[in-house]
Structure 1
Amino acid sequence: MGNLLYLVILLALGNISRRLPVFPENTPNVVNLFVIYISFPATILLQINKIDIQADLMVLALVPWILVFLSIFSVGLISKFLQWDKKLTGAVLLSVALGNTAFFGYPAVSAFFGEQSLGYAIIYDQLGSFIALATFGTIVVSIYGTSQKISFKTVLLKIVGFPPFIALIAGIFLVKTPVSGMMLKMLEGLSATLVPLAIFSVGAQLKFRQPSTNIKPICIAIFLKMILSPMIAFFILMFMGIQGTVFHISVFQAGMPSMVMAGVLAATGNLRSDVTNAVIGYGILFSFITLPILYYILISF
């Protein structure tokens, strides 16, 4: 799967850049700002215009939202038990709740289940993970990105002023509005920078040698995201009587590694981005083991 190898190469290039003097120390910060203020809003405006809701496939969009709310519950309990501070809790929450169901998920679904299943993966991502990133991700950054007590009004103002959220609202109001050729080309060009810049930034901040205090939250986040999440999706859908391709793709997408944008959000939101980036990096490598296993489990049902 060429796209998966592409991810690893970009991570490696970003990691190498930290050791090259030509790249200033604040390179990841500048890249993150570009992604948050330009690349991601352009992607939202481009993709939200393409969404076509079909009632019989809404279960695909329901699964990621169920996992988001369960992640709030599970991470909250673990955080309280282990006495994590707000910044670590927010970082782990982003890592667990948001899965890389687009750039990583699409090629993985296509490779394992065939291109005919790609439409199901897109619905899961666009109506689930994608919107959760723009809304839930914004809320997490607003609440956990400060050590001070903040009011509902403060959180609301931060959400309303967050560029991706502004783009989401604009996209919803403009959904299905014809986009001119010039505007479409510009959005496509800016959107194309999202994945390479975001992954490069994660690689530039990723330290494979982690301090001992980081090992536990990293392992917990990877376990919750890549092992427990697909298990939960599996049993929920079995209980609901869902079968076939919807069942397979929902569970498979639930097992994707953490979303790369989680690392960018953690960094720009002043959360523990070192933990989030480690979860993303190790998760991508770990997925080369977990996804084939998950696939063979699914096709037996």
Structure 2
Amino acid sequence: MNLIAIYAPLIGLVLLGLILGRYLPKVVATRVGQFLFWVGVPISIVAFLRQADLSGQVWIAPAIAWIAMILGVVFAAIGIHFRRYVQTNAIPWRRPTQGSFLLAAMVGNTGYLGYPITLAIAGTQYFGFALFYDLLGTTLGAYGLGVAMAARFGGSVHNYRELAQAILINPSLWSFGFGFFFRQVPLQASAAAILQGSAWTMVALSLVLIGMRLSQLHSWHSLPRASASLLIKMLLVPLILGSSLSLLGINGVTRLVLVLQTAMPPAFATLVIAEAYDLDRDLAVTALAVGTIGILFLLPMWIYLFGN
């Protein structure tokens, strides 16, 4: 597998975003994010669904996603309690810090980063696994279980009716339903080419957006705590699940795609939730930044271990 062909666009587009983010007003990144959320990502989902294989084992992806999130929360909780016994004189973490630690170990960036990496490594045929993992796993987990934990550890309970409404109006979920039926509609070659070109443009723009947002993150005070959560999220949980998938008869590229989604760094949703529920924002920011850089170093290992 040509890692240079994979890394060149990933690193190049993120670096472009870093440069743009330092010179453009912050509102530009906000507008780009809103455009991708409401228009760009839905277009990509509809386009790539036309070529994705949705038969056979694809429906196991959401189950793997939920198992990964639950494992992340369990191991993170064990780590928090184990620290009390190892470091007897250590100052106990505040509840907001515990909440951010749990979120960072649970919710991965399976959309804006997981989609491009899956497409670059496995192609559009296996996009369905990444899509089901993200929409029916990560998205529901972040704004369901994730928000419930944030409300508990942040000491504030928001309007759960508004939460349910935010999930229901998520354009990615609606575009998934539309794209599922639209994939049966024949298109002329020119129209199909325009749709695919638009989808790949949105993928590139999502990587640029990651760089723009990373350029605005400047907190490194919580590096030890963030590193501990990333060891759980990006190393321990993927190793356990990747080694266990063979027992379920899942091997080859399918297993690699699921492991990669499991190993994604913390999602931007963790920062959004941390800010909304008064959790430890510094920890959320640091985990997000370090994790996004770390996936570049871990990617070859996952390909070597599970890409056969």
TM-score (norm 2): 0.70
**Is the 2:40–2:199 contact (alpha carbons within 8 Å) kept by the matching residues of 1?**
yes
Per the TM alignment, residue 29 of structure 1 is displaced from its structure 2 partner at its CA by 0.8
Residues 54 and 102 from structure 1, CA distance in 2 versus in 1: closer, same or farther, beyond 3 angstroms? same
Q: Take 1:109 and 1:180, find their aligned partners in 2: how far apart are those partners? A: 24
1:17 paired to 2:20: yes
Q: Take 1:193 and 1:142, find their aligned partners in 2: how far apart are those partners? A: 32
Residues 53 and 10 from structure 1, CA distance in 2 versus in 1: closer, same or farther, beyond 3 angstroms? closer
- Structure 1, unaligned runs of 5 or more: 111-117
> C-alpha deviations, 1:23-77, integer Å up to 9, x for none?
2232211111111111011122223444433335655664334213323444566
Q: How do 1:241-252 and structure 2 match up within 5 A?
A: 242=249, 244-245=251-252, 249=256, 252=259
Q: Paired residue for 1:201, among 189, 206, 209? A: 209
**Is the 2:69–2:106 contact (alpha carbons within 8 Å) kept by the matching residues of 1?**
no
Q: Take 1:4 and 1:277, find their aligned partners in 2: how far apart are those partners? A: 24
Per the TM alignment, residue 97 of structure 1 is displaced from its structure 2 partner at its CA by 7.0
Specify the alignment match of 1:114 in structure 2: none
Per the TM alignment, residue 246 of structure 1 is displaced from its structure 2 partner at its CA by 6.1
Specify the alignment match of 1:162 in structure 2: 170
Report the count of equivalent residues.
284
Q: Take 2:179 and 2:270, find their aligned partners in 1: how far apart are those partners? A: 24
Q: Paired residue for 2:141, among 136, 143, 157? A: 136
1:26 paired to 2:34: no
Q: Paired residue for 2:184, among 177, 184, 189? A: 177
Specify the alignment match of 1:88 in structure 2: 100
Specify the alignment match of 1:37 in structure 2: 38
**Is the 1:138–1:159 contact (alpha carbons within 8 Å) kept by the matching residues of 2?**
yes
Q: Take 2:118 and 2:284, find their aligned partners in 1: how far apart are those partners? A: 19
Q: Take 1:35 and 1:79, find their aligned partners in 2: how far apart are those partners? A: 36
Specify the alignment match of 2:9 in structure 1: 6
Residues 124 and 290 from structure 1, CA distance in 2 versus in 1: closer, same or farther, beyond 3 angstroms? same
2:219 maps to amino acid:
Q
Q: How do 1:262-273 and structure 2 match up within 5 A?
A: 262-263=267-268, 265=269
- Structure 2, unaligned runs of 5 or more: 82-91
Per the TM alignment, residue 188 of structure 1 is displaced from its structure 2 partner at its CA by 3.3
Per the TM alignment, residue 200 of structure 1 is displaced from its structure 2 partner at its CA by 1.8
Q: Take 1:168 and 1:57, find their aligned partners in 2: how far apart are those partners? A: 14
Residues 276 and 5 from structure 1, CA distance in 2 versus in 1: closer, same or farther, beyond 3 angstroms? farther
TM-score (norm 1): 0.71
**Is the 2:69–2:107 contact (alpha carbons within 8 Å) kept by the matching residues of 1?**
no
Residues 13 and 166 from structure 1, CA distance in 2 versus in 1: closer, same or farther, beyond 3 angstroms? same
Q: Paired residue for 1:126, among 125, 131, 134? A: 131
1:64 maps to amino acid:
A
Q: Paired residue for 2:220, among 211, 218, 225? A: 211
Residues 135 and 25 from structure 1, CA distance in 2 versus in 1: closer, same or farther, beyond 3 angstroms? same
Q: Take 1:283 and 1:250, find their aligned partners in 2: how far apart are those partners? A: 18
Q: Take 1:295 and 1:56, find their aligned partners in 2: how far apart are those partners? A: 20
Q: Paired residue for 1:291, among 291, 296, 299? A: 299
Specify the alignment match of 1:225 in structure 2: 233
**Is the 1:138–1:165 contact (alpha carbons within 8 Å) kept by the matching residues of 2?**
no
SS of aligned partner of 1:3: helix
**Is the 1:10–1:196 contact (alpha carbons within 8 Å) kept by the matching residues of 2?**
yes
**Is the 1:98–1:129 contact (alpha carbons within 8 Å) kept by the matching residues of 2?**
yes
Specify the alignment match of 1:104 in structure 2: 117
Q: Take 1:86 and 1:162, find their aligned partners in 2: how far apart are those partners? A: 28
Q: Take 2:183 and 2:18, find their aligned partners in 1: how far apart are those partners? A: 40
Residues 42 and 247 from structure 1, CA distance in 2 versus in 1: closer, same or farther, beyond 3 angstroms? closer
**Residue identity (%):** 14
